[in-house]
Amino acid sequence: MPVRPTCGVQRADWIRGHVADLFSSYVAAAALSAFYELGLMQRIATEGEIRLGQAGNGGQEIDSGVLHAICNTLSWAEVVEVSECQIVTRGPRFDDAFAARGYFYWLVQGCGGLVSEAGHIARVCNRTGNFYRRDMGAVAIGSRLIGDTEVEPLFDEILSRLRVEKLVDLGCGSGQRVIRIASQSQARQCLGIDISEEAVRLATAAVENLELTDRVSIIHADARNLEYDPVISDANVITCIFMGHDFWPYDQCVRTLRQLRCAFPMADRLLMCDVVRTTSPADADTAIFTLGFELVHALMGVYLPTLEEWGRAFADGGWTCMNIYELKAPSNGFLFELALAT
């Protein structure tokens, strides 16, 4: 059938270009998260290619229409290339996207439900009770991947200078840190604490799979209410990664920091790592994560402290900051090396 050009109708120039790319980027972020979750990103990273017709994952068939659409979207984003014979290989942006996969999984799978309801949640009348939902298993996995780039190597470097006998990880998420640290030496006892049942399930399963139950325990508890307890209080290293902001607002954070002093009187170090709130408006230099991290926490009503506010809380909470390390990934991330103030 002949297709007629429209005449006399004003052309919509914005259907391509910057604003159109914002729309497609949202779709690409979802596609990237799914590609990671389906194990296909890892397969391309290790095997170099996947064939669209045979892209099952762990024996589970993937719908071919969905897979084609995901790969087409990722091809638009230059993450993959799809050949005429339906072979999917690395695109020019694959390595960067692979390095950033945790950020996408955190945002899309972990916080997607929350972000998609932003308009509803923004109304004050809708912000009571359990007014939002997140997939905490995905948040834990995304956080682990986010930490792999710089946080974990920095931790290993700091821990190599300390005598780690018993380590407690507050907000342990997937449990990867306690597992890794316990695996490095048989003499180490490690304990992970998390408030989320999903995270505790995930971490406990990982510990059992690796047969580390003699050295690693996972406990379901609120790190803000820990008291002296012989099971945990002989720990000499305490870690707390990407959850310190859950201690805030200020007075509650100071109270928690003081309570941690009582719960862990033998602590040589409290190693706390978190992303701080930015203090200048977003611009062309804004890095990955910043906008997502700040919007997600604003939606949840969780206060994000600045670097300066953390400094005051440590002093008032009875901890001396021995060193501060600035991270590049995640940006605005800092690792605070704290000791009990005397």
Our finding on whether 242 is near ligand SAM (CB under 6 A) is yes
Our finding on whether 193 is near ligand SAM (CB under 6 A) is yes
Question: What single DSSP character describes residue 50?
Answer: E
Q: Which is nearer to ligand SAM, 29 or 170 (CB)?
A: 170
The pair of three-digit structure tokens given for residue 323, joined into one six-digit string? 């060193």
CB atoms near residue 126 (< 10 Å): 13
CB of 116 to ligand SAM, least distance (A): 19
Q: What is the DSSP string of 128-145?
A: SSS-----HHHHHHHHHH
Question: What single DSSP character describes residue 214?
Answer: T
Question: What single DSSP character describes residue 287?
Answer: P
d(CA 235, CA 166) in angstroms, rounded, equals 5
For ligand SAM, which stretch binds (CB under 6 A), given 26-34, 50-58, 164-172, 296-304? Answer: 164-172
d(CA 191, CA 178) in angstroms, rounded, equals 7
Contact pick of 109, 196, 217, 259 for ligand SAM (by CB under 6 A): 196
Q: Which is nearer to ligand SAM, 70 or 241 (CB)?
A: 241
The pair of three-digit structure tokens given for residue 168, joined into one six-digit string? 């407690």
Our finding on whether 241 is near ligand SAM (CB under 6 A) is yes
d(CA 167, CA 239) in angstroms, rounded, equals 7
Q: Which is nearer to ligand SAM, 50 or 140 (CB)?
A: 140
Region 245-264 residues binding ligand SAM, contact defined as CB under 6 A: 246
CB of 138 to ligand SAM, least distance (A): 10
For ligand SAM, which stretch binds (CB under 6 A), given 28-36, 84-92, 222-230, 282-290? Answer: 222-230
Binding-site size, ligand SAM (CB under 6 A): 22
Kindly list the distances between the CA atom of residue 95 and the CA atoms of 45, 68, 168, in Å, as whole numbers in the listed order: 8, 21, 34
Residues that bind ligand SAM (CB under 6 A): 136, 139-140, 143-144, 147, 170-173, 193-196, 199, 222-224, 241-243, 246
